[in-house]
Every structure is written in C-alpha cells, then in structure tokens.
Structure 1
Amino acid sequence: MEFTGLLSAIVFLPIAGAIVIALVLRNYNQARIFAVAIAVIDFVLAIIAFAAYNTSAGGIQLVDRFSNWIPGLGDDGFAVQYLLGIDGLSAPLVLLTGLLGLVAVLASWHIQLRVREYFIWLLALQTGVMGVFTSLDFLLFFLFWELELIPMFFLIAIWGSDPKSKREYSAMKFLIFTILGSAFMLVGILVLFFSTGTFDMTKLPDAIRGANLLLPAGVVFALLFIGFAIKLPLWPLHTWLPDAHTDAPTAGSVILAGVLLKMGAYGMFRVSISMFPEVAQDVAWLLVAAGVINVIYGAIVVMRQTDLKRLIAFSSISHMGFIMIGLASVVGVNGAVSPLGLTGAAMQMFTHGTITGLLFLLVGMVYDKAHTRYIPDLGGLAKRMPFLAVALLVAGLASLGLPGTSGFVAELLIFLGAFKVWAIPTAIAAFGVVLAAGYILWTIQRVMFGPIKERFSDITDVSGIQYVPIALLLIAIIAVGIFPSFISDVFSSGVEPIAQSLEQVAQARLR
C-alpha cells in the first residue's frame, strides 16, 4: 500500500462537496458559496500537486495505491487496484481541470433554476474528469470515464438552452455517442486484461509486448482508439459536439471544451501510442490525415456559422486536428523520433483548454446580457462592454496563434515537430491558422465593433464576481505565452519516455 493522499483528495473532494450540498445544505446561497469554496480548495490542491511534481526524477509520482481494491482477479489475485498517480503528461491536465472547475463554478454564480442540484452535478463532473487524468488502473480509468457522462447529460438536458426539446436532443446525442465509444473501449480493455492478467497501466506496455493477445494488436488499438476519437472528437465522429456545445449552459461548455475533449487526446497518449507503439507507427499516416481533415474541415464550417457558440464549437474541432498532427510524430527520420511534435500536441491540450474555456465563458456573458448569440443581430458591443471586448480580443488572438499568447507556443511546437516527417500535410494544416485568423477577426469585428444597435444602448459590462474567472484565464493564457517552459518542461518529461519507446521500435524495424 502506498498513500500520499493528495491525489485522492483532489479527485474526491468535489464529489464529497456534492454530497454535503445534497444532504446538509438547504439554502441556495449557502450551496453557491460552498461550491465556490470546494472549487477553490480543489484548485489549490491541484496547484500543489503540479508544483510537487519533480520533472528531474520523472515517472509516476504522488502515488495512491491499494493493491487489493477488488481481490481475486488475475494471476496475482489483486489485478484490479485503486491506483492513482501523475506524471509529466497528466500533472498539467490536473492543474487545467482545477482551474476550469473553479471558473465553471464562478460562471454559475447567477444560476436560478434548481441551484443545489446544479452544483451537485457540476462538482460530480469535476470528480469524474480528475479521476480520468490520475487513474493508472485501466478499470478505474474506465469507471471515471463513464462517471462524467451522467453529470454532463443532466447539465445539458436541464440547464441548457431553450427550447427544452432541443437541449434534451443534444444531451441524448452526447450520451449515445459517448456510450457507443465507451462500449468499444470496454471490449478493448477486457481483451487486454484477459490477455495480460492486469489492468495496471504502468505495466501494460511491457505486458502487451510479451503477451499473446486474444485479438490482433491492430484490432485492440482500433477498439480503444474509436472511444478516444469520439471524445476528441475526430471527423466524422464529431457531430455530437456542436449540438452539445450550443445547448449546454455556459459552465458546461467551459468544461466540455476545456477538459472533456482533452480526455480523448489524453487517452491517445496514455493508451494508444504508449501501449501500441508499433501499431501507432503503422497508422501514423492515418493520424496525420485525420488531423488535416479536422483542421481544414472545422475551419471551413466555422465560416458558415451565425451562432457564436456553434462557431466556437467548430473551431474546437479544427484545433483538435493540430493534436492529431502532433501525435503523428510517432514516426521519425531514420528511426529517430523527435519528441517535439508530441510535446506540442500535449501543450495544445492545455492551451486550447484555457483559450476555448475563456471564449465560451465570454460568449455566455454576452448572451446573458444581450439575450442573443446570433451574430448578425450583434454589433458595437465594445462601446458598452469594453472589458469583455478586450478579453474576447485576447482570447481570439490566442486562438489564432498570435505570438505572446499560449496558442502560438503549442502550434509552433507541433509544426516544428511534424514538418520533418509530414512536410506537405503539415503545410496544409498550417493554412488552418490563416483560416482561423479570418474567422476569428471577422467574428470579433461583427460582434464588438461598428455602430451599436439601439437595443443594446443600455447593456452593461461585466461586473462583480464575473471579473474573477475572466482574469484567471487571461493570466493563464498570457503567462504560458510569455513563459511557456513552466508547462512545456513538465509535458516534455512525460513525453520523453513515450518518444524513447517509439524510437526503439522504429530503430528495431530498420535493422
């Protein structure tokens, strides 16, 4: 048994807070204040865990383990463990989840409908996502993966946009797509367990290489990859995302874009390329092709959107394509795999989370005050909402990759790493940045500048507690843009072992 307790506290504090709200608190204001307090504490603990991670030592740290969590399975009698830990890949994502969890709670301060139930689901969602990023037992990983479905379904179905029938449709579509992906995942996980006798994700890469798998490795890879691709999402498995984003409440969109999509990318890192390096290298051309399609398709479809939330949703699809292009760096030149593209893909998970989280937060605030997200009906809002306009401009420029913002750092690393192997696809994907500049600047100009509509003459800027979540995300975007190494160095320490494993496979094939 190993138990530091920090990660367990980070994972289960939100659900414990949800239980307290459900069983103890009866006053709506008390529920709000208590939820903020839980989110603040969880964010502070996430900062402590991130700061405590030693990049020089590397590997799995801050381990919480109970070896006999579910006894009697596997050759050793305790194959199912309670096993939490972080490495350089997951530590920044824990920090991101803590930050966006706090932002989501603060963004929900003015919720009036079924307030206690709302914060119960929001905090339960936080536990599910934190559990995915810290679990190192595959069965435990899957349980947390499934846990987040229920809160997000109810957040969309109950507190989403009107009309009721539309938000319920979007919630059900989200549920069906993700459960379908989870079914494929579960088959793959069980095949690995029955083939290797363990769910331990730290042992599975070596165990798979020495095992006789019940199904070919390529099939198992595909089963798991489909689940991750739906969550990311990849074209053509993406159609649930625009509907879910459009009809989710503001906090739901922040969490959905900021961290739920990153669960898919994280799974590809942790499972697909780490456990199946040979298969990953064989299908690298598919990864880069999928990435290019996502980038260009998402950017083109964005230009046809008239709803602000739907526009940002399709831009997320485009930006997730950059992660796939970075992942395609699993192959290298003459057997030498550069970790640069993989580090860039990991950085994109973090930077996209903060940037798109801020965009959805600001759009939600515009809707709360203007009561519309229809772009042709908006205009001139900067005159009445100067702070929000500046924040939206910063977020937009970061989204298109302006130097000095976090978006530039991630995309630069991806392009530098992938271009050595995939020159033409990377060049095509780089054109997506040009398209992003077009639709981002066009949107900001139409929404914030020009003559103000008469109906918005009395509209007011953000106020009070609304400044706090905006400021938190602006600081994150600018800080990473100016001094990226405090995040990129941690990601590099997590990516390096993966790159070394891939390089060994590539060099062995050249012999």
Structure 2
Amino acid sequence: MLGSVAALFPAPPGLRGRDPEQAVLRHGVTVTGAVLAAAIALAAGFDHGRPGVMQAQTDISWIPALDIRIHLGVDGVSLPLLVLTALLTFLCALYSYYKMPAGGSTPSPKGFVSLLLLLEGGTLASFAVLDLMLFFLAFEMTLIPMYFLINRWGGAERERAAWRFILYTLLGSVVMLLGLLLVGVKGGTFDMVALASDNGAKLTHTTQLIAALALIVGLAVKAPMWPLHSWLPDAHTAAPTVGSVLLAGVLLKMGTYGLVRIVLPMVPEGAHTYAPYLAAFAVVGIIYGSFACLALALPSPTTTLNGGSALFNRSGAGGDLKRLIAYSSVGHMGFVLLGIATLTPTGVNGALFANIAHGLITGLLFFLVGALKDRSGTTDLDQLSGISGAALYGRAPRLGGLLAFGAVASLGLPGLAGFWGEMLAMFGAFEPADGLSRPAYLTYMALAGFGTLLTAAYMLIVVRRVCMGDHPVEPGAEHGAPRPALADVHGYEFAAWSPLVALTVLAGLWPAALLGLTDPAVQQLLAGGN
C-alpha cells in the first residue's frame, strides 16, 4: 500500500532513467517483487508441523469502543492464497513492464501501477486479517482499483462492464456486511479466531440461519455462484490482460475463502441447513458454465466462405475466446463451492486445492489469450480458426503448445493441478457430512462428473480450432498460400508464464505439498478449534 502511494509521486532523479513512464513500471516490478520475496520468506518460516495453528500473528487494538483490532495471522488455509496473490501480481507487473495495457486516450502508467499495488494490498489483507470488520474493509478495498482497471484500461464495452462489476459486488458486500455484523454483535466479538473457537455456541439457531444466508449470498456474488455470476463474463471480456489474470486468479478466491474461514466454523448450523442448496447451485453452475463454453467454442452456424475470405455473423463477444475462459471460471468455481457444501474435510480440502489450481491455470490462459489478441488483433474464435486465422501449431508452435497445455490442465488431466481439486470435491460429495442427504449429493456428484466431460469437449474444440485451424474451403477455392508469420513467445512472456506452468505440473505431481498444509487447518475449522 505504501508502494501504491509512492507510485503517484515523481521518481527520484537517479531512478528516472531515460523514460519516466518506464520508471514507474519498474517501481511496480520492484514493489511486487519485494512482496513476493516476503511471501516466500513467510512460507519458508512457517511451522509446517502445525499448519492448523495461527502463526505470525499481529494483534493491535484499533477501535477499542467497538472492540475492533488489527489482528493478522496465517495458517494452512491462507498461506497458499497469500503466496499465489504475491506471485500473480508480480508476474502481472513484470508483463506490464514490457506490455503496458493501451487503455483509453491518455493511459497513465502512474495510475495503473498505483491501482495494481492497491489491489494487491487489499487482496493480501483479505487473506491475512482475523477481524470481521477488517475483513470487510479489505474486501471492499479490492473493488475500487479493479473497477478503474477495467474502466480505464479495458477494451470494448469497458464502461458497462466496470459498472456491472462494481454494482453487483457492492450489493453483495452490503448483504455480507449485515451477516458479519450479526455474527460479531451476537457473538460478543469481531475476532475471527475466537468466533471460530466458539463454533456458534453464543448464536441461536435463528441467528445462525439469518447470518449464514446473508454471508453466503454476499460471498457467492464474488465466488461467483450461479445465478449471481452474470457480471463476470463482461468484466473478463472487457478487462485488460493483467486485470483478467488477477480477477480470475485471486479476486474470485476471496468469496470461497470467506465461506471456509467465516461461514463453516462460525455459523455451523446455518451452514448445515443451506449446504444442500449451495451444492445444488454449484452443480447448476458447473453444467451451465460448461454448456455456455461449448456454445462459444463451436463454429458459428452461418460462417461461410466468399471469394476465399470468411464471413462471420459473430462480433464482439459472440464467439470470444476470452469470454469462453470467463464462463469456464463459473464451472470451475462450481467445483469449489460443491466441495465446501459437502462440509467434509475431503471436500473442503478439494475446494481449497481447486482454488489454487484455478488461479494458476486460468491465470496462464488469460495471459495466453491476451498475447494472442496482441498478435492477431482479435479473440473471435471464428476468425482465429478461419482461413487466415491463427493455426498456432504451424505459425507459433510454442504459443500453441502453451495454449494446449493450459487447456488440458483446465479440463482436469491427471498429473496436472486441475485434476486433484475437482476429484476431491466429488469424493466429498460421495460421502457428505452427517445429516446431509446422500442420494442428493450422489446426484450432484454425477452431474459434476458430467460437467468434467463437457469441459473436456469444449477445451479440446478450442485447441483444435485455434491451434490447428478449421480451414473452411469451398470446392476449387485456393487455400495453399503461405500465411504471414506470427510472433512466437517473447522472452518477457516466457518469464511471466513459466512459473505458472511449473507450479501447475508440480501441484499435479505432488499434491501432498498443498494438502499437507490445508488439511490440519480444515480439520480445526470444521471442529471449531483454533
């Protein structure tokens, strides 16, 4: 946050270099790099033998009259999210140093870097604070910078998308605040550790039902849960590349993190009551998101060839690859919500694993789509796969290989990060918590399994169309002319993307590294311990 303020001031004479604009972008890389180093140091100093215990705590009185404290800490649930946030923000700052978003008529690198750092500060705070009111303030602090990143540096329809984003998320935040106040006032404290230890003992059944409903609805907007998801595709489609990466990679995780950190341990009776409905909405989101992606991935029915050039009936977001990945997030986050709704250690661990996997894989995919748009000038699938389209395997094989890697990781190929979270979420649905209807959850598991098949279908269609090309040809049409070269992966792109690829493989081959952190903390949260 200090770096965000410093970005608005002129650079010292010795640090300006030849270009003041590059100086502020370099400032962004430096600050995010320092934050990443601090996050790695925090992870290295973390006592991995006690991941269920809050560590590195800071507890300072802030507003004594309301018993609101600046209480910070980290356990096995929040540590992976803190490191993921620091990593993705650093990679976005590094990418932007070489490829600053174009934005409006007068894009400001100072404003861009300042907003990026403010967004990182708010997100890190959301995962580290242990006071309900502080959590709400940190949660809100991320909304304003993301609004301006979309509105100022986004693409077509950016103003409309930014307004939808801010209106939906602010409305959800108001509902969430009511739930937080009810829990804090009736529970006698806003301290999240103390409330989790009480396990709802000071709250009546009716209070828990009301608070849980408000919290679930408010957090589900950010998750995003169907049918409260409709702001997401527009926001992703209009956002600049780094905005989409951070929105998918870390901001969506704040909603599901709140469900695990606040709802499950603090209002357990309310969570148990609403869990079957949350699971039902989650499964609908999986199927809905998958069918929406499949509709976007398939060729336009009126695509024709006229004199050797393709004519398309789609424009804007009709068959937009960026929009497709946005809708895939609705499906993938549905697995996270399903895992949480099982109320079992297996399901919740799967949800937390899927959170991290989605951040890595979808972050990589948005980076790749942004690079593809920079090269070809479009993300329309019909154009990318047409006679003059990308055909990445032949024109930019490294870029095509990375896109294919991201696609198969997203569809849950065993051995990559996307597999474990979804599998564990379905395992949790196979044996839900006591008191939940097993036949209903078996139905949810079967529908979620069908969703994985749909995910494989649309992702493989995307790979075939973008990496190989559709090559629509009329009899006798000339189609053998060589296509112009398409720039392959640049050095700065390789630097920004390779950590995501490496971690996707590492998490897929060694899931115990992450599950060993989350499982003891999840056991404590579900048992109401601290």
TM-score, normalising length: structure 1: 0.89
Where does residue 433 of structure 1 map in the other structure?
Answer: 452
- Contact kept, 8 Å, 2:43 with 2:79, in 1: the verdict is yes
Where does residue 476 of structure 1 map in the other structure?
Answer: 503
SS, match of residue 229 in structure 2: coil
Higher mean C-alpha deviation, range 349-358 or range 105-114: 105-114
Matches within 5 A, 1:141-160: 141-160=135-154
Taking the aligned partners of 2:428 and 2:521, their CA distance within structure 1 comes to 16
Q: CA deviation at 1:105?
A: 1.1
1:140 equivalent in alignment to 2:134: yes
Where does residue 314 of structure 1 map in the other structure?
Answer: 327
- Contact kept, 8 Å, 1:404 with 1:481, in 2: the verdict is yes
- Residues 449 and 82 of structure 1: CA distance in aligned 2, closer, same or farther (over 3 Å): same
- Find 2:88's aligned residue among 97, 100, 115: 100
Q: CA deviation at 1:204?
A: 1.4
SS, match of residue 506 in structure 2: helix
SS, match of residue 22 in structure 1: coil
- Alignment length (residue pairs): 472
SS, match of residue 81 in structure 1: strand
Q: CA deviation at 1:445?
A: 0.9
Identity in percent: 38
- Contact kept, 8 Å, 1:191 with 1:215, in 2: the verdict is no
Where does residue 31 of structure 2 map in the other structure?
Answer: 38
Taking the aligned partners of 1:441 and 1:209, their CA distance within structure 2 comes to 46
Q: CA deviation at 1:201?
A: 0.5
- Contact kept, 8 Å, 1:89 with 1:490, in 2: the verdict is yes
Where does residue 328 of structure 1 map in the other structure?
Answer: 341
- Residues 384 and 144 of structure 1: CA distance in aligned 2, closer, same or farther (over 3 Å): same
SS, match of residue 316 in structure 1: helix
- Letter aligned with residue 400 of structure 1: L
Cα RMSD (Å): 1.8
- Contact kept, 8 Å, 1:419 with 1:427, in 2: the verdict is no
- Residues 370 and 456 of structure 1: CA distance in aligned 2, closer, same or farther (over 3 Å): farther
- Contact kept, 8 Å, 2:322 with 2:366, in 1: the verdict is yes
- Find 1:446's aligned residue among 465, 490, 494: 465
Taking the aligned partners of 1:482 and 1:196, their CA distance within structure 2 comes to 43
- Letter aligned with residue 279 of structure 1: G
Q: Show structure 1 runs of 5+ residues with no match.
A: 1-14, 74-78, 331-337, 503-511
Matches within 5 A, 1:76-91: 79-91=67-79
Where does residue 178 of structure 2 map in the other structure?
Answer: 187
- Contact kept, 8 Å, 2:198 with 2:528, in 1: the verdict is no
SS, match of residue 401 in structure 1: coil
1:301 equivalent in alignment to 2:295: no
1:170 equivalent in alignment to 2:176: no
Taking the aligned partners of 1:488 and 1:261, their CA distance within structure 2 comes to 20
SS, match of residue 72 in structure 2: strand
- Residues 412 and 69 of structure 1: CA distance in aligned 2, closer, same or farther (over 3 Å): same
1:350 equivalent in alignment to 2:369: no
SS, match of residue 459 in structure 1: coil
- Residues 418 and 208 of structure 1: CA distance in aligned 2, closer, same or farther (over 3 Å): closer
1:70 equivalent in alignment to 2:63: yes
Matches within 5 A, 1:105-504: 105-109=93-97, 110-111=99-100, 113-162=107-156, 166-207=157-198, 209-211=200-202, 216-305=207-296, 306-330=319-343, 338-379=344-385, 380-421=391-432, 422-450=441-469, 457-501=484-528
Q: Show structure 2 runs of 5+ residues with no match.
A: 297-318, 386-390, 433-440, 472-478
- Residues 220 and 367 of structure 1: CA distance in aligned 2, closer, same or farther (over 3 Å): same
- Letter aligned with residue 487 of structure 1: L
Q: CA deviation at 1:33?
A: 1.3
1:49 equivalent in alignment to 2:37: no
